[in-house]
Amino acid sequence: MARFTPEAITTKLATVPIVPLFTHADVPTARSVVRACYAGGVRVFEYTNRSDQAELVFADLVRLVRQEMPDLALGIGTIFTADEARKYIDLDADFIIQPIVRKEVADVCHQAGVAWLPGALTPTEIAQADHWGASVVKVFPASVVGPAFIQALRGPMPTVKLMATGGVEPTHANLRSWFSVGAFCVGMGSQLFPASVLAAREYGQIQALVANCVAVTKKIVN
């Protein structure tokens, strides 16, 4: 059962508007990355469903988070179907993130009281996701359309919470470019977790990078 309501998820994102997006088939590596991100200050974390080991790793991370990080919301990303959503909700996912918009997944999430964060790109898709009850709409791939697209959407859709994901960089200039035009939060993947750093198990570098992003973002949005 999800520990946080959809409203609690958006409150966490309003406070620390950064969502690390991470996947790895190795349980100890995934554990270390979650710990590093938590120590860096994030309170919403997406484990991405992109390997045959995803279910096993996610179940382990749920246990870790409940034992050590009770205020961290742990969700699952890259969910396409209602059956996938049900499976991970049964594993106690706190939220479901999609790269697309599917009402069947929205319905499953709403029935379970779990936050639904679908991915969309066009204004019609974004409006449809909002109409179907998205807590946050993930604009993906954000780097393809750029911050100006987010800014343009604020006029006709001022109340829709938008998460820029895809190509967001962990730099002051890039983060400012998204938040200054009205992004509610950002999702950040591989640039937070350089392959060389993971290979060397330099998790302190990940913690430092995440902490810097959190600090920079708080200055920008506050």
Asked if pLDDT for residue 1 goes beyond 80, the answer is no
**Cα angle, residue 187 at apex, residues 74 and 90 outer, rounded to 5°:** 25
User: What is the pTM assigned to this prediction?
Assistant: 0.97
Asked if pLDDT for residue 169 goes beyond 80, the answer is yes
- Report the pLDDT value the prediction gives residue 124, as an integer from 0 to 100: 98
Give the bridge partners for 48, in sequence order: 77
- Report the pLDDT value the prediction gives residue 59, as an integer from 0 to 100: 98
Collapsed DSSP state (helix, strand, coil) of residue 76 = strand
Calculate the average pLDDT of the chain.
97
- Report the pLDDT value the prediction gives residue 24, as an integer from 0 to 100: 96
CATH of domain 6-221: 3.20.20.70
- CA–CA distance, 157 with 19 (Å, rounded to integer): 22
Mean pLDDT computed over 71-88: 98
- Report the pLDDT value the prediction gives residue 222, as an integer from 0 to 100: 76
Mean pLDDT computed over 33-38: 98
